[in-house]
Structure 1
Amino acid sequence: MTTTEHLQRMAAPTGAITPGVLRAEWTKLTSLRSTRWLLLLTVLLALVVSAVVTSVYASQYDQDFAARHTIDPAYWSLTGLIFAQLAVAVLGVLTMSGEYGTGLISTTFTAVPQRRTVLIAKAAVVSAVTLVVGTVSSLGAFLLGQSVLSGKPIKAGLDDPGVLRAVTGGGLYLAVLAVLALSLGALVRHSAGAIATVLGLLYVLPAIGAILPPSWQDTAVPYFPGNAGLAILHAVPMANAAAPWNGFAAFCAYAALAFTAALYVLPRRDALPK
Structure 2
Amino acid sequence: MTTTTIDPVRVRPAYRLRFGGVLAGEWTKFASLRSTWVTTGVSAVLLVALGLLAAAVSVEGMDAVSVALAGSTLASLAVGVLGALIGATEYTTGMVRATFVAVPGRTPVLWAKALVAGGVSFAVMTAGALLAFMLGAPMLDSGVTALGLGDEGVLRALVGAGAYLGLVAVLGVALGMLLRSSAASIAVLAGALLILPGVFMLLPGSLAETLSPYLPSNAGSAIMSLQTADGSLGPWAGLAVFAGYVVVALGAAAYRLKKADA
Give TM-score scaled by structure 1 length.
Answer: 0.86
Runs of 4+ in 1 over 6 A off after TM superposition: none
Q: CA deviation at 1:9?
A: 5.5
**Counterpart residue number, 1:65:** none
Q: CA deviation at 1:152?
A: 5.2
**Counterpart residue number, 1:144:** 135
Query: CA separation in 2, counterparts of 1:142 and 1:165?
Result: 13
Which amino acid in 1 is paired with 2:157?
A
**Counterpart residue number, 1:57:** 58
Query: 1:206 aligns to what SS in structure 2?
Result: helix
Which amino acid in 1 is paired with 2:32?
S
Query: CA separation in 1, counterparts of 2:207 and 2:51?
Result: 30
Q: CA deviation at 1:239?
A: 3.8
Question: Which ranges of structure 1 fall in alignment gaps of 5 or more residues?
Answer: 1-7, 62-67
**Counterpart residue number, 1:26:** 27
Please point out which of 166, 172, 182 is paired with 1:175. 166
Q: Deviations over 1:107-166 (max 9, x none)?
A: 100111110111111111111111111111111121122222175562111111211110
Q: How does 1:183-202 map to 2 (within 5 A)?
A: 183-202=174-193
Q: Deviations over 1:47-67 (max 9, x none)?
A: 111122233333xx1xxxxxx
Please point out which of 82, 91, 109 is paired with 2:82. 91
**Counterpart residue number, 1:154:** 145
Q: CA deviation at 1:231?
A: 1.1
**Counterpart residue number, 1:44:** 45
Query: 1:199 aligns to what SS in structure 2?
Result: helix
Q: Is 200-209 or 240-249 further displaced after alignment?
A: 240-249
Query: 2:58 aligns to what SS in structure 1?
Result: helix
| Structure (1 or 2) with the larger CA radius of gyration | 2
Query: 1:220 aligns to what SS in structure 2?
Result: helix
Which amino acid in 1 is paired with 2:17?
A
Q: Is 144-153 or 225-234 further displaced after alignment?
A: 144-153
**Counterpart residue number, 1:259:** 250
Which amino acid in 2 is paired with 1:49?
L
On the 8 A contact 1:80/1:141 being kept in 2, the answer is no
Matched length: 249
1:249 aligned to 2:254? no
On the 8 A contact 1:54/1:77 being kept in 2, the answer is yes
Q: How does 1:78-117 map to 2 (within 5 A)?
A: 78-117=69-108
Alpha-carbon distance change, 194 to 148 in structure 1, aligned in 2, over 3 angstroms: same
On the 8 A contact 1:233/1:244 being kept in 2, the answer is yes
Query: CA separation in 1, counterparts of 2:206 and 2:73?
Result: 25
Query: CA separation in 1, counterparts of 2:56 and 2:229?
Result: 21
Query: CA separation in 1, counterparts of 2:122 and 2:16?
Result: 26
Identity of matched residues, %: 41
Question: Which ranges of structure 2 fall in alignment gaps of 5 or more residues?
Answer: 1-13
On the 8 A contact 2:172/2:185 being kept in 1, the answer is yes
Query: CA separation in 1, counterparts of 2:197 and 2:132?
Result: 24
Q: CA deviation at 1:20?
A: 1.5
Query: CA separation in 1, counterparts of 2:55 and 2:160?
Result: 19
Query: CA separation in 1, counterparts of 2:58 and 2:141?
Result: 13
Query: CA separation in 1, counterparts of 2:96 and 2:187?
Result: 21
Q: Is 147-156 or 221-230 further displaced after alignment?
A: 147-156
**Counterpart residue number, 1:4:** none
Q: CA deviation at 1:80?
A: 0.9
Q: Deviations over 1:207-250 (max 9, x none)?
A: 11223222123221011001111111111222443211111110
Query: CA separation in 1, counterparts of 2:156 and 2:233?
Result: 15
Which amino acid in 1 is paired with 2:152?
P
